[in-house]
Amino acid sequence: QVQLVESGGGLVQTGGSLRLSCAASGRTLSSYAVGWFRQRPGKEREFVAAVNWSGDIRYYANSVKGRFTISRDNAKNTVYLQMNSLKPEDTAVYYCAAATTWYGANSEREYAYDYWGQGTQVTVSS
12-45: per-residue pLDDT in tens? Answer: 999 999 999 999 988 888 889 999 999 999 999 9
**Cα separation, 80 vs 36, whole angstroms:** 9
Helix, strand, or coil (residue 100): coil
State the pLDDT at residue 119.
98
44-103: per-residue pLDDT in tens? Answer: 999 999 999 999 999 999 999 999 999 999 999 999 999 999 999 999 999 999 999 998
